[in-house]
Structure 1
Amino acid sequence: MIKQLIQEVFSDEVDVEFLTESITERIDGYKNKKIRPRKIQWDQDDVFLITYGDQFYREGESKLTTFKNVYRKFFSDTFPIVHFLPFFPYSSDDGFSVIDYEQVNPELGDWADVQVMNREARLMFDFVCNHMSAKSNWFRGYLENQPGYDNFFIDVDPSTDLSMVTRPRTSPLLSEFKDSDGKTRHVWTTFSDDQVDLNFTNPKVLLRMIDVLLFYVDQGADFVRLDAVGFLWKELGTSSIHLTKTHKIIQLFRSIVDEVAPGTVLITETNVPHKDNISYLGDGTNEAQMVYQFPLPPLVLHAVRTGNTSYLQKWASEVTPPTKETSFFNFLASHDGIGMNPVRGIIDEDEILELVADLEKEGALVNYKQNPDGSFSPYEINTTYIDALSNRTDGDELRVKRFMLAHSILLTIVGIPAVYIQSILGGRNYYEGVEQTGANRTINREKYEASEIYDSLLEVGSLRNQVYRQLQELIQLRRNETAFHPDHSMRILSTTSTTFGLVRNEEVYALHNMCDKNQTISLEAGTYVNLLTKNECQIEQEIILEPYQFVWLRKK
């Protein structure tokens, strides 16, 4: 399989036998190390916490140690899996311009700290495989014309027609750098001039990145997030996104980790329309095991803010993983903004623009992308999810109601849920941080002194305390309910356009009123157990839900 994939990627351009042997030697070396066994497959108990390694700090203590202590006290009973966003030395973008793939940022700690955390939880690492920092040794070696670094990055004649290339940002695709000979190089930079794209057409780059992937698995990554992987392979005259050879390289990564550490899960991060996104599941056995469910955050947000569930219902009724070996990584909030591209083609463009304008009035910030015709479109909304769901003048009672309603959908829809740290902390928009960094995304990336979090999470009645306590209880309920196993069936109920209902494994009903007035949902007559209250209820033909109420019911 590995030899075949190499042939499909490089054709006759490289020594296929030598490259295959080089990869096989790497696999054998790690297999001989007897890497810790992984949990095979997933179940309803699996819930991710998405966080930065330096999310919490305390004077005189490494940030990973501080995180471990906060995790033990507040999160260990709720989240068995922790996704650490990039914790390596970096130069920009809060970690996504990696300077050294194989070092822990000394401001956070070292690999020993990561190993300690790995004994507390299963871990997901970020593999920033498309690009790295312009301050890295690799790029320095490239500019200094050092042996071994030629063609590590992509130098393009600026007169080349690049109009077909998909642009996720408004920054220039090519950035100028001077090499040691004084020559100007125009280097491919998909995301920023500090994030230089690696050249995977060079087999040496592929081998180095395989080394990084295997190193992460060895260091305890049960899950590996392939960041911005859709842009991995570039070809002039194409969009340079979702190309066939990108998929082949992911299949190669999958073959390698399956050999070295069966059960290791690859998750692709491709903030694109649904059809393109699920293509990274391959045939259901040969590529990523999970893909980010990018349409979910904007669809739930639109449903709550408009009270109209028609788009959410239609989309959810078509969501089915192709095999039991694949699933969806479901989330509502992340370190990035709420992406709009994934719902283009699902929600009418006029309604997308109306939603963006509405949120801007309520304090959200917006990032834009450049289209092939030179125009600009909203790419993502920058806000915390709790602030996105409500207006600034709303009281905390309504704010928490809407927030928990949204998270009931997250926890019951088919797939595996992930909760961003700012969400369970009840984080509000961090405008001070945006002023400091000049980056819109900072609005949802606030870091906290540990004692401040201890106090606010334990302050009964505070917004943080209400959100933390209620969300924690809801997650625990999900983890104990076998009907929510990721492989179990989901059926979307036929309801009005102001409600959203689903049934999992034909056992548990999750019903949601998405508007500010009482609504009814038809249900088969019988006796049900309300899983939220533990009470039995008799339903004749329908159930009445109060504004923004949700219930989980099991029929007896």
Structure 2
Amino acid sequence: MSISNGVQLITYADRLGDGSIESLNTLLNGPLAGLFKGVHLLPFYYPYDGEDAGFDPIDHTSVDTRLGDWSHVKKMGESVDIMADLIVNHMSAQSRQFRDVLEKGRESAYWPLFLTKQDVFTDTDETKTNEQIANVFRPRPTPFFSDYEVAGSETVPFWTTFTSNQIDIDVESELGKEYLSSILTSFTESNVDLIRLDAAGYAIKRAGSNCFMLEETFAFIEELSKRARSMDMQCLVEIHSHYQTQIDIAERCDSVYDFALPPLVLHTLFTQDASALAHWLSISPRNCFTVLDTHDGIGIVDVGPSGDKPGLLDNASIDALVEQIHVNSKEESRKATGAAANNVDLYQVNCTYYDALGKDDLNYLLARAIQFFSPGIPQVYYGGLLAADNDMELLAKTNVGRDINRPYLSTADVEAAIEKPVVKGLIELIKIRNDSNAFNGDFSVSYNDKLLALNWAHHSDTACLEIDFNTMSAVIDITDAGKSTTITISELLG
């Protein structure tokens, strides 16, 4: 199948509009009409408001009735490409299947569906087992395993890579394969075109390894992607890791995220030095989706070193980058990051991208222009679309770090926000990215004397973004069907 080469929106169904998929679709056909070629609809399964904002589904094949049903997803998919999350690694401890395990223990028909500590670490030598566990890559500060009492008589440590309410699935078991296939069937029947493989890098565990992106994991992703393609869907792999890992994964799957781009763009604008960014864009995967902001924080691990492998930025540059975000956000991001709030990730800074840039409208449009002219299909998070501020009230209410960038925005909020000059400018950039045929062609990048040029060419159609970091000025030159247009980024602010 073919995915539209245009800008996509990332959003929750309950946090943009008036609280339902139908309301969101009304927005997409009203105030936001024609802006987006696709929508990444963040988890809408039952329950969408669990402990991890929908990423801990009780029933992955069911739309939460408070949001709508599959017919509403299908209706939206008639006008835009739909991306949905396939939560590969785990399901909720409240699920029917796991509750059956708790009741019946090893006699449950669903016992093979879930992964226990003993399923992976079979050695009876406790010292050796502890050494192996110490080598496992840890994305969160919570324990690897959570003890549950089963059948009223036995305490079993189940794998819980993320939280104690998210029980890891044995994706290699027959029940695991059937479970994932049932979700794919729900998707393909409801006009879902793209599947975001959430947490796929953690799905395969082997004793003696770090249990992250193993060779067996690559094979698992390839097989799952093959199944999806046979059902006329494509897969997007979500992995936060060293940049070389992204390059390697991209060679073996439909598409990956360019998670290195968000911190590199910030570093570029903070230092007025695009050398690291230009280097990355010269080697980055072309079969990618680009983001600056998402429902998660701003990733850092994606540009950092890993062991003896150097990163795109060194540790000193990363430290300076993180500190500048805190300064620009007037310390709000510091209150939402690390030990300051209930955070589940060790490698992200929680802050809106707009606040990370100190609410500087010109720099924000420069950042979006760089994103749209970089290789890949651009996605814009709903908060970023509307240049939303850090939601300190929601953060104080929930003490969940990521909620600083997960605001609830009504239809009235949207209608007001699209009148802001910075949002109007962003909308114009989205139209440029959607409308120019040059973006269907070849990409090149150059950086000399602090002048960054991002170029696209498709036959006689061309598009070029030039940013002069000596003066912090930027110009877009477009030639489509013989007609040439020049736009300065500052003009977009009115």
Q: 1:484 to 1:404 in 2, by over 3 A?
A: same
Bigger mean CA offset, 359-368 vs 70-79: 359-368
| Displacement after TM superposition at 1:57 (Å) | 4.8
1:448 aligned onto 2:409: yes
SS of the aligned residue for 2:29 comes to: helix
On the 8 A contact 2:116/2:158 being kept in 1, the answer is yes
| Displacement after TM superposition at 1:252 (Å) | 1.6
Distance 1:64 1:520 in 2: 38
1:475 aligned onto 2:475: no
Distance 1:260 1:529 in 2: 38
Task: Please list, as runs of the form range in 1=range in 2, the aligned pairs for 1:263-278 lying within 5 A after superposition.
Answer: 264-278=233-247
| Displacement after TM superposition at 1:181 (Å) | 2.7
1:426 aligned onto 2:426: no
Q: 1:316 aligns with which of 281, 304, 317?
A: 281
Match of 1:198 in 2: 169
| Displacement after TM superposition at 1:508 (Å) | 2.6
Q: 1:405 aligns with which of 361, 366, 373?
A: 366
| Displacement after TM superposition at 1:84 (Å) | 0.2
| Displacement after TM superposition at 1:260 (Å) | 2.6
1:48 aligned onto 2:8: yes
| Displacement after TM superposition at 1:64 (Å) | 1.4
Distance 2:46 2:345 in 1: 33
2:86 maps to amino acid: F
Match of 1:340 in 2: 300
Q: 2:102 aligns with which of 143, 158, 165?
A: 143
Task: Please list, as runs of the form range in 1=range in 2, the aligned pairs for 1:64-463 lying within 5 A after superposition.
Answer: 64-90=21-47, 91-144=50-103, 145=105, 147-156=108-117, 159=126, 160-161=129-130, 162-261=133-232, 264-283=233-252, 288-321=253-286, 327-344=287-304, 345-361=311-327, 362=329, 363-365=332-334, 367-368=337-338, 379-390=347-358, 399-458=360-419
Distance 1:189 1:82 in 2: 30
| Displacement after TM superposition at 1:293 (Å) | 0.6
Q: 1:239 to 1:296 in 2, by over 3 A?
A: same
2:303 maps to amino acid: V
| Displacement after TM superposition at 1:493 (Å) | 1.2
On the 8 A contact 2:43/2:54 being kept in 1, the answer is yes
Deviations 1:298-337 (A, max 9, x none): 100111122221211111122253xxxxx11011110000
Distance 1:358 1:402 in 2: 14
Distance 1:385 1:81 in 2: 21
2:425 maps to amino acid: Q
Match of 2:308 in 1: none
Distance 2:197 2:68 in 1: 23
| Displacement after TM superposition at 1:115 (Å) | 2.1
SS of the aligned residue for 1:56 comes to: coil
| Displacement after TM superposition at 1:441 (Å) | 0.3
On the 8 A contact 2:139/2:345 being kept in 1, the answer is no
| Displacement after TM superposition at 1:514 (Å) | 4.3
On the 8 A contact 1:340/1:378 being kept in 2, the answer is no
1:267 maps to amino acid: L
Q: Larger radius of gyration, structure 1 or 2?
A: 1
1:502 maps to amino acid: L
| Displacement after TM superposition at 1:451 (Å) | 2.4
2:79 maps to amino acid: E
| Displacement after TM superposition at 1:43 (Å) | 5.3
1:252 maps to amino acid: E
Q: 1:297 to 1:451 in 2, by over 3 A?
A: same
Distance 2:136 2:185 in 1: 31
SS of the aligned residue for 2:117 comes to: coil
Q: 1:42 to 1:431 in 2, by over 3 A?
A: same
Distance 1:428 1:184 in 2: 46
2:254 maps to amino acid: Q
Q: 1:469 to 1:218 in 2, by over 3 A?
A: same
TM-score, normalized by length of structure 2?
A: 0.86
Match of 1:19 in 2: none
Deviations 1:201-221 (A, max 9, x none): 322211221221222122211
2:174 maps to amino acid: P
Bigger mean CA offset, 327-336 vs 306-315: 306-315
Q: 1:530 to 1:482 in 2, by over 3 A?
A: closer
User: Identity percentage over the alignment?
Assistant: 28
On the 8 A contact 1:55/1:67 being kept in 2, the answer is no
On the 8 A contact 1:78/1:472 being kept in 2, the answer is yes
| Displacement after TM superposition at 1:113 (Å) | 1.9
On the 8 A contact 1:142/1:152 being kept in 2, the answer is no
SS of the aligned residue for 1:101 comes to: strand
TM-score, normalized by length of structure 1?
A: 0.77
Q: 1:337 to 1:508 in 2, by over 3 A?
A: same
Bigger mean CA offset, 500-509 vs 423-432: 500-509
On the 8 A contact 1:57/1:63 being kept in 2, the answer is yes
On the 8 A contact 1:83/1:123 being kept in 2, the answer is yes
SS of the aligned residue for 2:281 comes to: helix
Match of 1:7 in 2: none
Distance 1:139 1:231 in 2: 20
Q: 1:110 to 1:529 in 2, by over 3 A?
A: closer
Unaligned runs of 5+ in 1: 1-39, 322-326, 370-375, 391-395, 459-464, 522-527, 538-544, 552-556
Bigger mean CA offset, 311-320 vs 439-448: 311-320
Distance 1:337 1:496 in 2: 33
Distance 1:530 1:251 in 2: 39
Q: How many aligned residue pairs are there?
A: 459
Give me the CA root mean square deviation.
Answer: 2.7
1:502 aligned onto 2:471: no
1:512 aligned onto 2:467: yes
SS of the aligned residue for 1:360 comes to: helix
Match of 1:484 in 2: 439
